[in-house]
A and B are shown apart, each in its own frame.
Chain A
Amino acid sequence: MSTRDLVLAALFAAIIVALGLVPPIILGFIPVPITAQSLGVMLAGVVLGAKRGGFAVLLVLVLVAIGLPVLSGGRGGLATFASPTAGYLVGWFFAAVVAGYLSERFVDRSQSGIVQITGFFLAALLGGVVVDHGLGIIWLAFGTGTGLSTAFLGDLAFVPGDVLKAMIAALAGRAVMVGYPLLPQRV
């Protein structure tokens, strides 16, 4: 990893940490505040690609593990990984890697805007919702013994919010690509 890649990942990790400290953002069209941190995870993959985005999220998880309260609400420490919802947290890493890899695959600088946004949306959706929620459900089901169907049912309540975040990540990812392109191109 070049020094520039290392710095980009560290800067994005700082953005994700900072998003946990700012007050929740209210979306214009829906009166529900969203926690921005998991949006930041999707964006890490969409903006930086699989390798650097994954490293950025890994850095945030390392900060949590070594006892820094960097998650929203001042949560942190090793105990966070013992929580029933720890699968979602560990899933962030895989979410960023998958969203990043798929973004590199789907999105090309020569495509039209709408194609790029659709590609980013699918990447963020598969990484941030399918992969992350999948791991969250598996940990909840087997770590606490709730069983898969119960865990799945409890999870459903959080799907609409994260689909919405994938949409925002897609629009923001495309806007960043236009303003300051960083996503590696795969041929």
Chain B
Amino acid sequence: MKTLYVEGNTLLHRLSARVKLAALAMASMLLFVADSPVLLAPAAIAAAALYGTLGLGWRNSWQRLRAILLTIVIVSAFMLVINDPGAAATGFFRLTALAFFAATITATTSTGDFIATISSAARPLERTGLGRAADIGLAIGLVIRFVPDVLGRYQAIRDAHRARGLKPSALTLGVPLIILTLRNADEIAAAIDARGIRGQNWDKDQR
């Protein structure tokens, strides 16, 4: 799976993920307090300019932002017809600014940095007994590891349908896919515990 992170050594790359996420939270609050297109339009242009300094190129940027920018345009056009032009412009510039800021952080922060930040932010949760911060990284690794397996199984089930001349449907594809995938859980869990990845006696203490 290809991440949306882009290698680089700009100032934004060197800033810690924690600082960037705090800045994004701050920016989004300011964008929601500012309620006029006069303030929000320059903010959107500034955000787009910041994104532009990354030098990702037009084609790459369009691919990354196509879905969200189209949604913003459609919703704004809808508002232009139903509400008033002022509200449409406010919504358009606010969300565009937010999208560019967020996309900038996504492009300059590696998944490893993100996981480290999330894990350290989740550490206080350990005291509540909900789970362990280190489990987040483990679970993310497991998901990425098993997506290709699930896809392979999906193709095998679909091919089995074709071989029998059956039409694949959501039910006849989905049910075997779920059962075959989840049936591996016991073996995978045993393999994780056998390696002591989650620490000793965790299960006995917490169950």
A binds B: yes
Which A residues are within 8 Å of any B CB, using their own CB?
1-4, 6-15, 17-18, 21-22, 25, 27-28, 34, 36, 39, 43, 47, 55, 59-60, 62-63, 65-70, 73, 75-85, 140, 143-147, 150, 154, 168, 171-172, 175-176, 179-180, 182
Which B residues are within 8 Å of any A CB, using their own CB?
1-5, 24, 28, 64-65, 67-68, 71-72, 75-76, 78-79, 82-83, 87, 90-91, 94-95, 98-103, 105-107, 109, 111, 114-115, 118, 131, 135-136, 138-140, 142-147, 149-151, 154, 167-171, 173-175, 177-179, 181-186, 188-189, 192-193, 198, 202-203, 206-207
Contacting residues, chain A, for B179 (C-beta < 8 A) = 176, 179-180
Nearest-neighbour CB distance to chain B for A21, whole angstroms, equals 6
CB contact under 8 A between A25 and B168, given known A59-B139, A75-B67, A144-B75: yes
Q: How far is the CA of A7 from the CA of B192 in the complex (A)?
A: 9
Chain B: CB-nearest residue to A36: B170
Of B67, B114, B136, B189, most buried by chain A (CB within 10 Å of CB) is: B67
Q: Is the CB of B173 within 8 A of A25?
A: yes
Q: Which of A2, A82, A154 contacts B99 (CB 8 A)?
A: A82
Contacting residues, chain A, for B206 (C-beta < 8 A) = 1-2
Q: How far is the CA of A69 from the CA of B103 in the complex (A)?
A: 12
Contacting residues, chain A, for B105 (C-beta < 8 A) = 78
Chain B: CB-nearest residue to A147: B83
Q: How far is the CA of A80 from the CA of B111 in the complex (A)?
A: 16
Chain B: CB-nearest residue to A40: B174
Contacting residues, chain A, for B177 (C-beta < 8 A) = 15
Chain A: CB-nearest residue to B82: A150
Q: How far is the CA of A53 from the CA of B119 in the complex (A)?
A: 20
Q: Is the CB of B189 within 8 A of A3?
A: yes
Contacting residues, chain A, for B173 (C-beta < 8 A) = 25
Q: How far is the CA of A15 from the CA of B157 in the complex (A)?
A: 14
Chain A: CB-nearest residue to B109: A67
Contacting residues, chain B, for A81 (C-beta < 8 A) = 102
Q: Is the CB of A12 within 8 A of B182?
A: yes
Contacting residues, chain A, for B207 (C-beta < 8 A) = 2
Q: What are some 13 contacts across the A-B interface (CB < 8 A)?
A: A12-B181, A15-B181, A17-B150, A34-B170, A60-B143, A69-B1, A73-B67, A77-B4, A82-B99, A84-B72, A84-B95, A150-B79, A180-B182
Q: Is the CB of A68 within 8 A of B91?
A: no
Q: Is the CB of A14 within 8 A of B147?
A: yes
Q: Which of A13, A78, A143, A146 contacts B78 (CB 8 A)?
A: A146
Contacting residues, chain B, for A3 (C-beta < 8 A) = 189, 192-193, 198, 202-203
CB contact under 8 A between A6 and B170, given known A18-B150, A145-B83, A146-B83: no
* 7 additional contacts (CB under 8 A) given A83-B72, A172-B174: A10-B143, A43-B178, A47-B178, A68-B4, A77-B4, A79-B65, A144-B95
Q: How far is the CA of A143 from the CA of B95 in the complex (A)?
A: 8
